[in-house]
Amino acid sequence: MQYVIYVLILLALIIIVRNIRVVQQSKVMIIERLGKYQATWGTGIHVKIPFFERVAKTISLKEQVADFPPQPVITKDNVTMQIDTVIYFQITDPKLYTYGIEHPMVAIENLSATTLRNIIGDLELDQCLTSRDLINGKMRTILDEATDPWGIKVNRVELKNILPPREIQSAMEKQMKAERERREAILRAEGEKRAAILEAEGEKESAILRADAKKQQQILEAEGEAAAILKVQTATAEGIRLINESMPSDAVLKIKALEAFAAAANGKATKIIIPSEIQGIAGLAEGVVQSIKDVPADKAE
């Protein structure tokens, strides 16, 4: 009898230990009692009633990622593409997630495929390739509203790959190559045009500088000639002033006049008219010179 009591106590301890549950961080457990929802256990230690309660499901509350395989979709301009989507979602209501729908992940995959087909069907190929943000936003809004009754919140939807047919890809590559060649030709033409403009501007500035240099040279030459004439005139005026101050006689003035005519005769003039009052002095001077020539050399000494 004593052994039976020990056995019963041991069985009771085993049953109690086996019905202790430790719920980890960011997880919850759905508890059913006799097949009916009883409670949602959060983080910590819990003990369920043996034979009456069971853990229906353990659910993670972390944000999860679902990467679905590529789906064939047709654009508005009848181009068939393969698009695969990535959905970031989080379970906000474990009870609804457990009892709201059967196989919720399969439901989300099918819902995302149909939603994607509806959105892409209203867009052309070029719009699909350039409007990823628009498509992502529309899909997130539609999926979030549709999954609310399932206790799921869709945080973000991303189009992972957009794969058009091979012939479309080849045409797009040729178009891209042609566009790049066109841009290269435009840039080259603009560079040549800019170089020609710079060269013309350089020649223009060089011509302007040469003209300014020549102008400055002419101005300096003119200023130099003017300064020389001014100095000659000043010297002449100074000589006349000194002569006037010395009060020369008529004979001296006539000799100076004769010297001036002699200097004029050395120029390019072909005919010189000598005033009568100077002619007498010229004759007298010639006679004196002749008399000096006729004197013998020993007497001249």
Per cent of the chain over pLDDT 70 is: 80
This prediction has a pTM of: 0.56
Pair (85, 123) in one structural domain: yes
* Confidence tier at 300 by pLDDT (50, 70, 90): very low
On whether residue 146 sits in a domain, the answer given is yes
Per cent of the chain over pLDDT 90 is: 22
Pair (32, 76) in one structural domain: no
Predicted local distance difference test score (pLDDT) of residue 19: 85
On whether residue 184 sits in a domain, the answer given is no
Pair (97, 131) in one structural domain: yes
Lowest-confidence pick of 62-71, 75-84, 239-248: 239-248
Q: For residue 174, is pLDDT > 50?
A: yes
On whether residue 200 sits in a domain, the answer given is no
Q: For residue 261, is pLDDT > 80?
A: no
DSSP conformational letter for 43: S
Q: Find the domain containing 39 and state its range.
A: 2-60
Domain boundary at 114, 142, 164, which?
164
Predicted local distance difference test score (pLDDT) of residue 13: 84
Among residues 231, 228, 274, 227, the alpha carbon closest in space to that of 254 is found at: 274
Pair (82, 153) in one structural domain: yes
Please state whether beta strands 64-67 and 80-91 pair in parallel, antiparallel, or not at all (unpaired). Answer: antiparallel
**Strand (E) or helix (H) holding 56:** strand 53-60
Give mean pLDDT, residues 122-132.
Answer: 85
DSSP conformational letter for 47: E
| pLDDT, the chain, mean | 81
On whether residue 232 sits in a domain, the answer given is no
On whether residue 188 sits in a domain, the answer given is no
Domain boundary at 113, 141, 164, which?
164
Give mean pLDDT, residues 175-204.
Answer: 88
Give mean pLDDT, residues 186-199.
Answer: 89
H helix runs in the chain, sequence order: 2-18, 94-99, 104-120, 125-130, 132-147, 166-246, 250-265, 276-294, 297-300
> What 3-state DSSP class applies to 31?
strand
On whether residue 170 sits in a domain, the answer given is no
* Confidence tier at 228 by pLDDT (50, 70, 90): confident
Give mean pLDDT, residues 92-100.
Answer: 91
Give mean pLDDT, residues 93-120.
Answer: 90
Q: For residue 278, is pLDDT > 90?
A: no
On whether residue 22 sits in a domain, the answer given is yes
Domain boundary at 130, 164, 198, which?
164
Pair (77, 55) in one structural domain: no
Pair (106, 42) in one structural domain: no
Pair (130, 154) in one structural domain: yes
Predicted local distance difference test score (pLDDT) of residue 9: 83
Give mean pLDDT, residues 144-152.
Answer: 91
On whether residue 175 sits in a domain, the answer given is no
CA-to-CA distance for 210 and 212, rounded, in angstroms? 5
Pair (116, 102) in one structural domain: yes
CATH of the domain at 24: 2.30.30
Please state whether beta strands 53-60 and 27-33 pair in parallel, antiparallel, or not at all (unpaired). Answer: antiparallel
Q: For residue 75, is pLDDT > 70?
A: yes
CA-to-CA distance for 224 and 212, rounded, in angstroms? 18
Residue 250: alpha-carbon gap to chain centroid: 93
